[in-house]
Structure 1
Amino acid sequence: MKYLYFIILVIAFCGYSTRIPSHIAYKKIALAFVENKTLKPELEVILTQRLEDYFKSISQIKLVNIEDAELIISVEINNYGKIPAVYDAFQNVTQWQINISCQVKGQKKNTEQIIFNSSINQQVNYRQNEKSEEEAIKEGIEKITAEICRQLFSQW
């Protein structure tokens, strides 16, 4: 019976958490200029705002200017595409696919050591009668933000 209680106790305290660990390596992060190399305007504005909102929501991280940062994150949006995904019987487009690609780099400020450097690609399918292109773009940017943060925190 003691072993049963011990096993239950061990299982109860052996959990995983989805929270950001309190021992994160970089407490001061700067977001460098997000560069938009596509012909679609405003992508960099949406991504910058979303990343700023995300980092401000994490109490263990302080979003600071580049001079005070320990880690500098830079993003280059290098591809935006909108292509037909589904046609109806009359060859009218009923569903579109948006593709957004960017290159993300995280670099230590003082040593200029690159912590991560990766390409992120996200796709969003949407029907014109259900969602606008702007809403689909915001959904794609949200996915990119989540992937940037996943990669950033997995390196710590």
Structure 2
Amino acid sequence: MPNDRDQPWWADAQEYRHRETRRRTLDDAPIRSRDEYETGAARRRRAAAARASAQERRAKQRRPEPEEFGWVDESPFAPSERERERERVERESHRRARERSRQPGTDVARRQQPGRGRGVARRPGARPPARRRRNNLLARPEKLLLYAALLGLFLVLAAVSNSDAAVVVHHVASNR
């Protein structure tokens, strides 16, 4: 049976296992030679270059910022200054009306009485939910069709069970 010690990675694993892992203080640190420092610096430089290139790659994959088209304002179809001002005033009035309707004591706030399911938390600006329709049979044609189909099925079953052939079969079976 092969042993782990026979594997080619065993010696490297032992080297890592016995390596000092805790952080050393400055007086604990082994004295490094100049080439060791240079190899560490080179490794750090390579890692920094790899990070930078990865960042560039990610930046290329991102969608470009949308361009601002300057010619839109100069087009003959662009809204005029007066129209823009009117839109801004309308937006402001709508906003003020919304804020007024949110204040308690206004007629809009009074109209929304509590109770009957209206006390549920709801966005203040959203319109109240529409009243639910009652369960009218005629309001749901698919339900009406289902009932008609079931009634027809029961009628067919009743006719089959009361037919002459069924009665004869039943009579023959009971006289044996």
Per the normalisation by structure 2, the TM-score is: 0.18
Q: Which has the higher helix share?
A: 2
Say which one has the larger Rg: 2
Give the number of the structure with larger relative contact order, counting CA–CA contacts within 8 Å between residues 6 or more apart. 1
TM-score computed with the length of structure 1 as normaliser: 0.19
Greater per-residue strand proportion: 1
